[in-house]
Structures are given as structure tokens and as C-alpha cells.
Structure 1
Amino acid sequence: MTVTVRFAPSPTGHIHIGNARTALFNWLFARQRGGRFILRFDDTDTARSRQEYADQIQTDLHWLGIRPDVTAHQSVRFDTYAAAVERLKAAGLLYPCWETAEELERRRKIRLSRRLPPVYGREALKLAETDRKAFGDDGRKPHWRFLLPNFSDDPFSPQRTEVHWDDVVRGPQTVDLASMSDPVLVREDGTYLYTLPSVVDDIDLSVSHVIRGDDHVTNTGAQIALFRALGAQPPAFGHHNLLTTASGEGLSKRSGALSIKSLAEDGIEPMAVASLAVLIGTSESVSAARSMDELAERFDPAATSKSAAKFDPAELVTLNKVLIHAMPFEEARERLAEHGISGSLAEPFWLAVRGNLEKLADAEVWWKIVQEGPQERPEPAPEDAEFLAIAFDNLPPEPWDRMTWKIWTDRLKELSGRKGRVLFMPLRLALTGREQGPELADLLPLLGREGTLARRP
């Protein structure tokens, strides 16, 4: 059987790095096994789902390096879900419930006060037909619950009913269906909750492995029961730990915090995001993978911790610098051209400055310094003015290469008696306007003798 996974976002906002973790876990799992990756939009909430978010999610996945084999939309499959509902009703496994939210909350509090688990007591099954008609006449509409198979003969006497699965991430897991309320599958207005469309789609799309956040662990027992009620073999399940902020707060798609879109716009490299999203909270050390193939070699879902993974966005910058500092010119060429960096100097320029960059776009600043001179240059201190005059009077003749800097500064040591910072800093400020930056030995050949003379204070 072909390994088939799915990533199922709701297009109600921008996906963040926590969502990307789920997408990448699925993508890498399938990639390791020659499998298929399905992008399934859970867009049954037609009021909040927007095409612009769906388009952005596809853009974000593509930016990360994820290429779905199939793209599906739940919003065009309502007839399929309705057919599944009718099958469950006909089998006596989906029953109408008439309680309001307030009534359910009151019952929950009563059970808690009696130190009983706050599960639904299936009171709706006790209603006579006349009671149901009366509710309908009063304008009430029912919601529909799935009858869990946690009893022998009497649904009001649930028995411990264990559902077992070998979790791809967490290992052997057990859920007792008797500890759960019958899940609501259909709301009063006829719309579907997450569970029914998800299970029906997983069946129809032949999903073999469901890999998702561990906030779904407790749902899995009921979903396995629903797969079986619909006559299907349940897929394998895996539940990875969730990402939180450094302070332990959950990430919110609605807030836009750490969205993939914002990280891309901020100049973070996709492999920095992918490396952090996949490796944090695992036994694998967090370091920058250069490619998705390299990350796939390091990916092991079973190495994931069971506790939430906290991370600091500053880690992204650290990983980003590692990737930029090692990035070959051929990989950077097209993107540099978008910043106006091209021509015969582009490659030696990139090799000279990349080690000082946090983000690729930062190269544009140094390109302007090389091409046009310092944007701002502090006035030299009085004690440095004479030294700089001597320095520019004693520029070596061309041709220039990386040794020119040493030849020049060795000569200046002899003439001025200066060395160390008091020799180098005035020259750096005169040439670049900055106290820090790329090695001047690498920059001088890019400036040339004429360009260097043009910077004479």
C-alpha cells in the first residue's frame, strides 16, 4: 500500500510555524517512504473560510519546499458527508439530541459536583417520539451524536472499552471509550464538526497515516470507532508535540504571530524555518539543514518529545545566518539580481559579504557601499586626519587582489607607527562608513584603486 498522508488546514487565517511543523512532519514522512502528500482544505466553515487564505497557504507550502500531489476541498463534498450521515442514522449510530448548551453545562456541573466524569449521559436516547415532536414544535433543532461502541446491550451502562493503536510518534496508546461523551458530528444548523468530514475524506482519499498535533490524541479513539462504523480500516496515527512561544503560550493562526508569510517577508530562509519547525522538541540537535533531502535524513518522528517544545524566534535568525554564510553564489544568484546585484562583480562581492549577513537582503546595503560609497561617513577625528592623508597618498599600484590590503597596511605601519585598531578603524570608516563589516582584504579588490581614492576624506 502506498503511504498517503494529508495536511488539513482551515483557510481561516495564515498558517504559522506550528502549522508548518505538522505539514513538514507529513511531507518528510511521505518523502522517506516514496509516498503521497495531500493538501486538504478543511473549509466547511463557509462563513470564515476565504480563498485568499487558501491561496496563501499553498504559496507558503511551496516556499517551504512542499509540493502536494493532490489538493482537495471539503466545501465541494457536502453530498458525500450527507450520505455518510444517512448511513450512520440507518445503522442506529447517529441519534438526535435536543439539549441546549446551557442545559448541557448544567448537567456537566452536576456530575462534577458528584465526582463523576463529565460525560454525556445519553439522555436523548430516552426521549419518546412525542417528546421529540414537542421539541420540534417549539422550534428546537437537534444536534446529532455518534453512539460510541462502549456497551454490551444497554447504552446507559457503558463498560470500559479500550481502543489501542501504535502511535507513529508516541508509541503504544490506549483510550477508553467509556470515559468519553458521544461526540457531536452534526450541529443544530446542519453543519458538520471536524470529525465526520475528516474521517470520510481520509477513507475516500485512501489516507494511510494521520500525523497531527498531540492535542488530537483524545479524539483518536472516537475517530477509530467512526472509521469502523463506516466500514473502513482506520489509518495509522501519529501525534507530535506542539510548539509554543518561549513563555509557553500557544500559537494562534488568527493573531498572525510567526506566520509563514511574515517570516518569508522578513527574509528568513525556508530551510531555517523547516529545520527549526522539525527538529525542535526532538532528540536531534537543532541545526540548519541545507536541503529537504538532508532534513529527511535527520527526521525521525519517534524521536519527538512528549512535552511541548518552546522556542525563541531568535533561533531562526541564528539558523538563517548559518545558511546564508554557507550559501553558494549559484544558489543566491537570481535572488541577488532581484536586489540589483549582478554583473562580473556579483560573485566576488557575494563571497566577500555573505559571512557578515543575517539575511540575504542585507547584501543590498553592502552593494550600495561598494558601488556608491558610504551612505553616511563620520568625520575623522583630528588625530586620524593626518594618518588618512598619508594612507591615501600611499595606495599600492594596481592590479589589486586580496593581498593588496596587507601590502597597504604593512606600509602604513612603517610610515605611521600605528597598528591594530588605531590603524584599521580609520580606514574602515573611510571606506565603508561602518565600524564592522566584511574583511577589507576582500572589499578592496571590489573597490579598485580609483573607487578607493574616491573615498578619500
Structure 2
Amino acid sequence: MTKLRFAPSPTGYLHLGNVRTALINWLYARSTRGTFILRLDDTDFERSEERFAKQIQADLAWLGLTYDELIKQSDRLSIYSNTAEFLKAKGRLYPCYETPEELDLQRKLQLSSGKAPLYNRAALTLSPSQIADYESQGRKPHWRFKVEGGDIRWKDMIRGEVVFRGELLNDPVLIRENGSPVYTLATSADDLEMGITHILRGEDHVTNTALQIQIMEALSEKPNGISFGHLPLISGRKGEALSKREGSQSVFDFHKEGLEPMAIVSLLAKLGTSDPITPHIALEGVIEEFDIKKFGRATPKLNPEDLWQMNVKILQMLSFDQALQRIESMGLKGTTPEFWALIQKNIIKFQEVKEWWTICYGHKTFTEENKALLETAEHFLPPEPWDETTFKAWMDQVKEETGVKGKDLFMPIRRALTGQEHGPELKELILLMGRPKTLHQLQTARA
């Protein structure tokens, strides 16, 4: 059985790049009848916050991305401590006492001499007296993983064959000076212990994967059995990176603004594939169309306006029955199928239903400068019953009487009835409003 995880750090709000990673992992798990885990990588105690952890869970729930298990790395510190001791005993984790300033100087000297800025493993040659001297100064060690030379290779689900040379990789720090585990150690231990079968994440983790494979092989003492896939990162419409730390709009922001969750899901599920991006109003259709083999290596670009265009399409797909419960939850009663059919082609956000309900059924009135035209329109307003020909016949009489036509005729009428210059066709709108309401709007608009 497949088992995948989404492992965000609760150090900020989710942005679209995070959600795409979560969605693709979720879709792979659900399409293979596997397990999907939410794992909060919260071992960075200085930056992790509970409010962000809760919002991550709320965002996934809003998107419909249910998870089978919730795990917090902060609850698993004893596992990471045992993992570190195991690696120490194998000689793969060693203590280092350099300060950040000393390491920075080392890197600068290496670069100035044309060498790769790799840690020089000076800590491996420290004598017991040197270590004692450092500790007497109050220095506490950070612990590095000793990377072995040779090929580190895997068949990436997106990139194909990937090979790293171990001797060209830096020995990563796995334990901080304060004793807390670094992401790479915790992730390696968790993915092994949880039986993760597939890891799909951004291509910025490719080097981390090479290191993780060596760490997991050192822990399990057998070849890596996890399948990895590294997706190209989403860029903005101008090629800029999307980042939760640089002010990009978060999923929480989109939710507050009224974006439909399926607009995000529909777009991100196909972004980076050769498939056309089509709207869906249910997750089942997205799962059915998902295929990881369709994702390519080209950098996908995302314009936030694309999300709102998708939003419009999804609203236009909703049936009256699907919309009715949401409309009534807004406190709007007496809504008819005719009302929904009329306005759903004229709204960008579902919240705009309330404005149109107030226009059609409520007591909201507007003003219009062309009062003479409204007076004539009021005079020629036909008696009921009305049908689809009523509006044209009415306007023909007003046009004949005033000589006004085109926009100069229709816009004052629209503004008087709705307060807007765009919206449903007036011939349909007046049928919904009825003669008493239409007359009232004309009278109050010129009052």
C-alpha cells in the first residue's frame, strides 16, 4: 500500500506552492487507495507557532484534503535522540565546535582559492585536550553527518535518473548546539519509521534527498526503498518565486477573499502537466484524472487572476440545489431557481449573491441623474403579466418618446434598478423583480 505525507513547517501561512505539494501527495495517495499523513515539522522551536499549525489544518480541511493521521515532530524528540545515538555509535555523526564566524571564514577562504565551500572535517582530527579546551570555553558542539563518497542515485518520478557524488556534498548538521534535531535528521527518521513509500516535493529538495538517502541507508542498513519525485517550483506570472516569507498571498487570504476551494484544487492539480486545466466542483473528478506521469520539468507559471477566472467557471457549474444551502446559510430566504440561473453568470465570488438578493428581493434603492428618462420609463412601464418580450416593447416605447437609444437609454435604467453598470440582462431581471419592485426602483431613483 502506498503511504505519503505532507510535512510543512508551521512557521507561516501556507502559500500556493505548499498547497500544490500537499495536493499532489494527497491525489497520489487517494488515486492508489493509499494513506495520507499530515506531519508537522515543528522542531524549529524559535520559529514554529501553534497558530500556524492550526491554520495549516484548517486550510487543508477547507480544501477537502483529509488526512488519515496527524503527527507532530515535537512529540517525537526521543525518537530523534535515539536515532542520533545510533549514528554516533556507527561513527557517522561527529561533534564540531566551530563558531558561525569561523565557519564563514573557512567558506570565504575556500571560495577565494577556487575550492568548493565544503566543511573540511577538521573536527574529526580534534584531540581530547582540544575538545576539553573548547568545552571549557562554554562551546557546545553541533553534530554533523559524515557523508560517504561514491554515487548516490535514484530514479526520480519527475526528473528521471539522478546521480550525486557523495564526496562533493557537504556534511550536513543534524543536531544543533542546543541539542534539537535539524529537519534532515527528523525527516529521515520519520520517513523510515512511518513506512513512507513515496515522497513528492519541490525540486529545491533534490540535494536534501541525496543526503536523506545516505542517512536512511545508514539507519536501516539496507538500500533505499522510497520513491522520490521532485516537482519544479511554481513561479509568478513574471517568473518570481512564490514564498510564504516574502509576502505572497496565502491560502488563508484567498479563503477570506471568497475564492472557492475547488478553484485552487482544479488549477493546481493540472498546473505543470500537458492536460488542459478544467474546472471541477468535486474532488472525485480530480482524483480520477490524476496521473503523476503527466507532470513535466518545465517551470509552471501562475497568475492569481487565473484562479479568479476558474472561480467564475466553478460558480457557473453549481446547480441550484448545490447553491441553495449556502444561500440560506447567509440568511437569504425565498430564493428561486430562476434567481440563481440569472445571477450565477454575473458573480465572481459567491458572497456577491447577497448583493443581488438585496437588489431583487430586498429594499435597497439607488439614485440616477437622468430623472426625466426615468419618469418617461415609469409612465410607459407595461402592466403585468410580463414575458421575455416585455422589456424590448417597453424600451421601444421609451425610445420613441425620448429619442434616446443604446447605452444612453439602457444604462440609466440599469443603474436605477441595480445601482450597477454591469449584470444580468435586464429583460430577465425585470421578470424576476416583477412590476411592483421595478416601479418602486424607478420612483425612488428619481426622488
Interval of TM-score (by shorter of Structure 1 and Structure 2): over 0.9
**Structure 1 residues 105 and 307 mapped into 2: Cα distance closer, same or farther (>3 Å)?**
farther
Paired position in structure 2 for 1:441: 427
More moved, 28-37 vs 334-343:
334-343
Gaps spanning 5+ residues in structure 1: where? Answer: 151-160
**Structure 1 residues 57 and 256 mapped into 2: Cα distance closer, same or farther (>3 Å)?**
farther
Question: Percent identity between the aligned chains?
Answer: 42
Q: What per-residue deviation string (whole Å, max 9, x for no partner) do you get for residues 275-319 of structure 1? A: 233333332333433332222344333333434333221221111
**Structure 1 residues 337 and 6 mapped into 2: Cα distance closer, same or farther (>3 Å)?**
same
The whole-number CA distance in structure 1 between the counterparts of 2:415 and 2:47 is 55
Paired position in structure 2 for 1:367: 357
Q: 3-state DSSP class of the match of 1:454?
A: helix
Paired position in structure 1 for 2:386: 400
Q: 3-state DSSP class of the match of 1:38?
A: strand
Normalising to structure 1: TM-score of the pair? 0.90
Residues 281, 309 of structure 1: 8 Å contact kept: yes
Corresponding position: 1:251 with 2:242: yes
Q: Cα distance, 1:207 vs. partner?
A: 0.7
**Structure 1 residues 402 and 327 mapped into 2: Cα distance closer, same or farther (>3 Å)?**
farther
The whole-number CA distance in structure 2 between the counterparts of 1:451 and 1:49 is 56
Which of 352, 364, 369 is matched with 1:379 structurally? 369
Residues 14, 56 of structure 1: 8 Å contact kept: yes
Residues 392, 427 of structure 2: 8 Å contact kept: yes
Q: Cα distance, 1:329 vs. partner?
A: 1.8
Residues 275, 287 of structure 1: 8 Å contact kept: yes
Corresponding position: 1:188 with 2:187: no
Aligned CA-pair RMSD: 2.2
Q: What per-residue deviation string (whole Å, max 9, x for no partner) do you get for residues 330-376 of structure 1? A: 22222222333222x34321211111111111121122111235543
Residues 26, 37 of structure 1: 8 Å contact kept: yes
Residues 175, 181 of structure 2: 8 Å contact kept: yes
The whole-number CA distance in structure 2 between the counterparts of 1:65 and 1:143 is 41
The whole-number CA distance in structure 1 between the counterparts of 2:406 and 2:239 is 47
Which of 310, 313, 317 is matched with 2:304 structurally? 313
The whole-number CA distance in structure 1 between the counterparts of 2:392 and 2:160 is 61
Corresponding position: 1:340 with 2:331: yes
Q: 3-state DSSP class of the match of 1:398?
A: coil
Gaps spanning 5+ residues in structure 2: where? Answer: none
Paired position in structure 2 for 1:158: none
Which of 213, 217, 221 is matched with 1:224 structurally? 213
Paired position in structure 2 for 1:357: 347
Paired position in structure 2 for 1:330: 321
Corresponding position: 1:210 with 2:217: no
Residues 224, 234 of structure 1: 8 Å contact kept: no
Given residue 359 of structure 1, which amino acid in structure 2 is its aligned partner?
K
Q: Cα distance, 1:96 vs. partner?
A: 1.0
Q: What per-residue deviation string (whole Å, max 9, x for no partner) do you get for residues 199-253 of structure 1? A: 1111121111111111000111111011111116441111111123334333332
Corresponding position: 1:162 with 2:189: no
Q: 3-state DSSP class of the match of 1:225?
A: helix
More moved, 324-333 vs 9-18:
324-333
Which of 303, 307, 330 is matched with 2:294 structurally? 303
Q: Cα distance, 1:68 vs. partner?
A: 0.4
The whole-number CA distance in structure 1 between the counterparts of 2:52 and 2:272 is 28
Q: What per-residue deviation string (whole Å, max 9, x for no partner) do you get for residues 159-218 of structure 1? A: xx1111111222221111111011111011111110111111111211111111110001
Q: 3-state DSSP class of the match of 1:355?
A: coil
**Structure 1 residues 107 and 388 mapped into 2: Cα distance closer, same or farther (>3 Å)?**
closer
Corresponding position: 1:123 with 2:122: yes
Which of 253, 273, 285 is matched with 1:294 structurally? 285
More moved, 108-117 vs 40-49:
108-117
Q: 3-state DSSP class of the match of 1:164?
A: strand
Paired position in structure 2 for 1:62: 61
Q: What per-residue deviation string (whole Å, max 9, x for no partner) do you get for residues 361-419 of structure 1? A: 112112211123554322216xxx2x544433333333334443345445556666665
The whole-number CA distance in structure 2 between the counterparts of 1:252 and 1:317 is 20
Given residue 301 of structure 1, which amino acid in structure 2 is its aligned partner?
I
The whole-number CA distance in structure 2 between the counterparts of 1:354 and 1:306 is 37
The whole-number CA distance in structure 2 between the counterparts of 1:137 and 1:415 is 101
Residues 366, 441 of structure 2: 8 Å contact kept: no
**Structure 1 residues 391 and 84 mapped into 2: Cα distance closer, same or farther (>3 Å)?**
same
| Pairing 1:274-293 to 2, within 5 Å after superposition | 274-293=265-284
**Structure 1 residues 390 and 103 mapped into 2: Cα distance closer, same or farther (>3 Å)?**
closer
The whole-number CA distance in structure 2 between the counterparts of 1:197 and 1:375 is 62
The whole-number CA distance in structure 2 between the counterparts of 1:326 and 1:406 is 29
Residues 93, 143 of structure 2: 8 Å contact kept: yes
Aligned residues: 441
The whole-number CA distance in structure 1 between the counterparts of 2:296 and 2:214 is 27
The whole-number CA distance in structure 2 between the counterparts of 1:336 and 1:135 is 69
The whole-number CA distance in structure 1 between the counterparts of 2:374 and 2:194 is 73
| Pairing 1:2-13 to 2, within 5 Å after superposition | 2-13=1-12
